[in-house]
Chains A and B, each alone.
Chain A
Amino acid sequence: MTKDQTIGEALRARGVSRRGFLKFCAATASLMALPPAMVPKIAAALEKARRPSVIWLSFQECTGCTESLTRSHSPTIEDLIFNSISLDYHHTLQAASGTAAEEDRKTAMKENYGKYLLVVDGSIPVGNPGFSTIAGVSNMDMLLETAAGAAAIIAVGTCAAFGGIPYADPNPTKARSVTAFLKEYGNRLPNTFTVDETGQTDPVDVTNKPVINVSGCPPIPVVISGVLAHFLTFGKLPELDSLGRPMAFYGKSIHDRCYRRPFYDKGLFANSFDDEGAKKGWCLYKLGCKGPTTYNACATTKWNEGTSFPIQSGHPCLGCSEPDFWDGGGFYKALSTPTGDITRTAVYAIGAGAAAGVALGALNRSKRAHMRKTHSKVGIDDLEKGDKS
């Protein structure tokens, strides 16, 4: 594939029929909740789109997001679409390494300055720049440097979107999400700043770079392709929710689309992983399912090309596409339950309350006994006040 091929040309070169291509556009449109009238527009845009340069920075991450996004054992349309972008820098997928890889990155940045897409996975540790480096450059500096010429940043995975696992209590590396990092450090100059090496001539404040959060641990593959398709078609990011995630995929909770929802509504829950309820496929709320507060497309789009998703496999949703999912009170504690041992607290409180109550009750009794003891008899002459002034 060459950089100058349009997506349409690239697809045809791979043997994708027009029909197959239109099917993909229709599927993408429906995934994005776009009306059918958009399909020709998507098709036309993708047909003519130049494959944009994409620089992928992997920071404090586990590579799970990359694994997810590239998981395909048989050629799929999504896979082909990835061939419709020019992935100019990616640690795991690129051929080059070392100085050559870094040179590739800088060249891509310079040639496409202001137009390339920056994909970030993994969180950015700010506790000590040395906690995570690439080619001796801290994540902090590399992000600042690369963001300067990016058209938009796609924070892939919960680590990049919200801080993810490194962010969990006590967050020893002081991990930050992309958005949080940019907010705090976006107006700083990276230590690696050189005039004109990367196409950046002046200091740039990247605080307000558009960021789209594609959260999930990892995210679902089609979510990425849908976002890219949108960007390629419309030249801008899709509608985002309050956490910066595309509404098309994160607009509904797992709970609202879960096939086990009727069991929840009827109050039929699995009490353990191997009891009758579990075997019958009942709701996993009691086992700690975070479906009600988790927004993602797992229940509809599912994983591995629609094979299954955690709940279908019998495991409660971890809430992995939400901020602080790791600190959400426990994967196996139902959302409506207290995080601490309330029973013990209540028992102690009853004891304390009983003691206090008996003490105060005794005080009451002794006060009244005293009153009764000091009762002064009321005679018929004591029914009128003595002093009538």
Chain B
Amino acid sequence: MSASLEQGIHAFKEQIDAPVATFFSSCVRCGLCAQACLFYTETGNPEYTPIHKLEPLRRVWKQEYTFWGRYAKAFGLSKPVTDAELGDWEKYVYDSCTMCGRCSMVCPVGNDIAYMIRRMREGMAAAGHAPEGLVGATRRAITIGSPMGVKLPALQAQIRNAEQESGLKIPVDVQGADYMVLLSSMEIMNFPEFISAIARIFERANVSWTISSEAFEATNSGIQIGVSELAAELVQRVVDAAEKLQVKNVISPECGHAYFAIRWEGPNLVGKAFNFKVVHILELLDDLRKQGRLKVSSKETQKLTYHDPCQITRRGGVAEQPRNLLNMVAENFVEMPEHGTMNWCCGAGGGVSTNERADELRLKAFKRKQAQLNAVQPDALVSACSNCRIQLEEGLEENSMDIPVLSLTETIAAHLSDD
């Protein structure tokens, strides 16, 4: 059944639960969410106030699930949500929101706005109002296996490069390995050094791992566009591969939304708890560090600061680990003002970078990160998400800032001790 307004409203109605109803009931229009959102702070446009991005969903909730709203609707006193309105709302739900959740941290009445945006996207997509770029990426992810269209041969080429670079064999489809590693297309195409980095770390730390040739993609476009059945299909591929290889853990690489998708949404999408654990690469690295299996023989001396990928730190719960690792490998690690769970989004996650229409806005949003960097004046910027990395590099170049962006994993690998 193709997309329509009815489909969209239908999806809205399905998505409303007790938290959503509570949040809409509680909003007092205080505007504090606006000053927490980089899309508002860098444009000054009040239309980017987070709670405003949910207005059509709010009205559906009111008209369908409250006595007074139903009463008003029955008497023709309420304003119905129209297709045109949803069209207008695309730029609020997709272009100017990465579901970074910073607004959810500051709302005084406790509204988790990012939670609601995720649900609203279900209706927007079903109504045919998801951005073109995301639709294309999702289609590619489902049909090809990667939103960027990366197929197995491309991965295999990168694996061969990694093997050459590291001098190590990259395990593929190894039955019974402890860890099955996923990779984002972004990493495979733009930052393939990640593969050799983890190969060397795992070899040194004696970690049994593998990549699955049947399910190697970490990115979940279904989450970004907001279509649960498609997101579930993508997760199921990983589950099938993990069960086939009988691995104990699945590793989510340096990609923000990928982690959130598999770790926190995964089992709910497929309707079953996993019989394997999901860990973020940083979680594993920190565990190895604690166990004394990960050692560095040299340290970064340049002044480093850390950009927290939203879906890993604030929405993912992996906040301490990168700091522990940085304290191990860096002599001069300085936190940004507003760091950790209150760090600012890079501006590109959640599908924003896949949406060409949002390019200009995305680069404007970067100015928030620029301000943070100006306050710290680091020699280099470390992060743990390839999508953030691309955005940061683009933003830094656009603003003529000469600060290299480093992957945390790769940085550790660069200083790996020989024993």
Segment at the B interface, from A254-262, A298-306, A377-385: A377-385
Give residues of chain A (23-64) contacting chain B, Cβ–Cβ below 8 Å.
Answer: none
Q: A382-B1, A383-B138, A385-B4 are in contact. Are A375 and B225 (CB under 8 A)?
A: no
A384:B10 contact, CB within 8 angstroms:
no
Q: Which residues of A contact B139 (CB under 8 A)?
A: 380, 383
Q: Which residues of B contact A372 (CB under 8 A)?
A: 14
B10:A382 contact, CB within 8 angstroms:
no
Q: A360-B67, A380-B138 are in contact. Are A368 and B125 (CB under 8 A)?
A: no
Q: Which residue of A lies closest to B65 (CB)?
A: A364
Q: Which residues of B contact A371 (CB under 8 A)?
A: 10, 13-14
Q: Which residues of A contact B2 (CB under 8 A)?
A: 381-382, 384-386
Q: Which residues of A contact B227 (CB under 8 A)?
A: 378, 383
State whether the Cβ of A389 lies closer than 8 Å to any Cβ in chain B: no
Q: A385-B128, A386-B2, A386-B3 are in contact. Are A367 and B13 (CB under 8 A)?
A: yes
Docked Cα-Cα span, A373 to B125, in Å, equals 19
State whether the Cβ of A345 lies closer than 8 Å to any Cβ in chain B: no
A376:B1 contact, CB within 8 angstroms:
yes
State whether the Cβ of B165 lies closer than 8 Å to any Cβ in chain A: no
State whether the Cβ of B377 lies closer than 8 Å to any Cβ in chain A: no
Q: A383-B135, A385-B2 are in contact. Are A368 and B14 (CB under 8 A)?
A: yes
A383:B3 contact, CB within 8 angstroms:
yes
State whether the Cβ of A374 lies closer than 8 Å to any Cβ in chain B: yes
Docked Cα-Cα span, A371 to B225, in Å, equals 21
State whether the Cβ of B241 lies closer than 8 Å to any Cβ in chain A: no
Q: Which residues of A contact B127 (CB under 8 A)?
A: 385
Q: Which residues of A contact B225 (CB under 8 A)?
A: 383
A377:B229 contact, CB within 8 angstroms:
yes
Docked Cα-Cα span, A371 to B64, in Å, equals 11
A386:B229 contact, CB within 8 angstroms:
no
Q: Which residues of B contact A364 (CB under 8 A)?
A: 65
Docked Cα-Cα span, A229 to B7, in Å, equals 89
Q: Which residues of A contact B16 (CB under 8 A)?
A: 368
Least CB distance, A275 to chain B, in whole angstroms: 44
Docked Cα-Cα span, A140 to B229, in Å, equals 90
Q: Which residues of B contact A386 (CB under 8 A)?
A: 2-4
Docked Cα-Cα span, A376 to B4, in Å, equals 12
Q: Which residues of A contact B125 (CB under 8 A)?
A: 378, 383
Least CB distance, A357 to chain B, in whole angstroms: 9
Least CB distance, B147 to chain A, in whole angstroms: 12
Q: Which residue of B lies closest to A359 (CB)?
A: B67
Q: Which residues of B contact A383 (CB under 8 A)?
A: 3, 125, 128, 130, 135, 138-139, 225, 227
Least CB distance, A180 to chain B, in whole angstroms: 46
A378:B126 contact, CB within 8 angstroms:
yes
Contact of A378 among B13, B64, B143, B230 (CB under 8 A): B230
Least CB distance, A85 to chain B, in whole angstroms: 68
Docked Cα-Cα span, A377 to B65, in Å, equals 23
The secondary-structure label for the interface of chain B is helix
Give residues of chain A (81-113) contacting chain B, Cβ–Cβ below 8 Å.
Answer: none
Q: Which residues of A contact B142 (CB under 8 A)?
A: 380
Least CB distance, A291 to chain B, in whole angstroms: 40
Q: Which residue of A lies closest to B16 (CB)?
A: A368
Q: Which residue of A lies closest to B126 (CB)?
A: A378
Q: Which residue of A lies closest to B122 (CB)?
A: A378
Docked Cα-Cα span, A374 to B14, in Å, equals 10
Give residues of chain B (318-366) contacting chain A, Cβ–Cβ below 8 Å.
Answer: none
Q: Which residue of A lies closest to B142 (CB)?
A: A380
Least CB distance, A96 to chain B, in whole angstroms: 75
Q: Which residues of A contact B14 (CB under 8 A)?
A: 368, 371-372, 375
B126:A382 contact, CB within 8 angstroms:
yes
Q: Which residues of A contact B13 (CB under 8 A)?
A: 367-368, 371
Docked Cα-Cα span, A364 to B21, in Å, equals 11
Q: Which residues of B contact A385 (CB under 8 A)?
A: 2-4, 127-128
Q: Which residues of A contact B7 (CB under 8 A)?
A: 376, 378, 382
Docked Cα-Cα span, A377 to B1, in Å, equals 8
Give residues of chain A (340-389) contacting chain B, Cβ–Cβ below 8 Å.
Answer: 356, 360, 364, 367-368, 371-372, 374-386
Q: Which residues of A contact B128 (CB under 8 A)?
A: 383-385
Least CB distance, A282 to chain B, in whole angstroms: 41
Q: Which residue of A lies closest to B128 (CB)?
A: A385
Q: Which residues of A contact B65 (CB under 8 A)?
A: 364, 367-368
A367:B126 contact, CB within 8 angstroms:
no
Q: Which residues of A contact B11 (CB under 8 A)?
A: 375, 378
Least CB distance, A349 to chain B, in whole angstroms: 15
Docked Cα-Cα span, A356 to B71, in Å, equals 14
Docked Cα-Cα span, A374 to B1, in Å, equals 12
Least CB distance, B132 to chain A, in whole angstroms: 9
Docked Cα-Cα span, A367 to B227, in Å, equals 21
Least CB distance, A365 to chain B, in whole angstroms: 10
Q: Which residues of B contact A376 (CB under 8 A)?
A: 1, 7, 10
Least CB distance, A383 to chain B, in whole angstroms: 5
Docked Cα-Cα span, A379 to B141, in Å, equals 12
- A interface footprint on B1-42 (CB within 8 Å = 1, 0 otherwise): 111100100110110100000000000000000000000000
Q: Which residues of A contact B4 (CB under 8 A)?
A: 385-386
Give residues of chain B (102-146) contacting chain A, Cβ–Cβ below 8 Å.
Answer: 125-128, 130, 135, 138-139, 142-143
Docked Cα-Cα span, A382 to B2, in Å, equals 4
Least CB distance, A113 to chain B, in whole angstroms: 70
Docked Cα-Cα span, A375 to B64, in Å, equals 17
Q: Which residue of B lies closest to A357 (CB)?
A: B67
Q: Which residues of A contact B64 (CB under 8 A)?
A: 367
Q: A380-B230, A382-B3, A383-B225 are in contact. Are A374 and B138 (CB under 8 A)?
A: no
Docked Cα-Cα span, A381 to B3, in Å, equals 9
Least CB distance, A265 to chain B, in whole angstroms: 34
Q: Which residues of B contact A367 (CB under 8 A)?
A: 13, 64-65
Docked Cα-Cα span, A199 to B142, in Å, equals 113
Q: Which residues of B contact A382 (CB under 8 A)?
A: 1-3, 7, 126
Docked Cα-Cα span, A335 to B23, in Å, equals 39
Q: Which residues of A contact B67 (CB under 8 A)?
A: 356, 360
Q: Could you list 11 further interchain pairs (A-B, Cβ under 8 angstroms) beyond the known A364-B65, A374-B10, A379-B230?
A: A368-B13, A371-B10, A378-B3, A378-B11, A381-B2, A383-B3, A383-B225, A384-B2, A384-B3, A384-B128, A386-B2
Q: List 17 A-B contacts (CB under 8 A).
A: A368-B13, A372-B14, A374-B10, A375-B10, A376-B1, A376-B7, A378-B126, A378-B230, A379-B229, A380-B138, A382-B2, A383-B3, A383-B225, A384-B135, A385-B4, A386-B3, A386-B4
Which B residues lie at the A interface, using CB under 8 A?
Answer: 1-4, 7, 10-11, 13-14, 16, 64-65, 67, 125-128, 130, 135, 138-139, 142-143, 225, 227, 229-230
Q: Which 6 A-B pairs have the closest CB atoms?
A: A386-B2, A385-B128, A371-B13, A371-B14, A383-B135, A380-B139
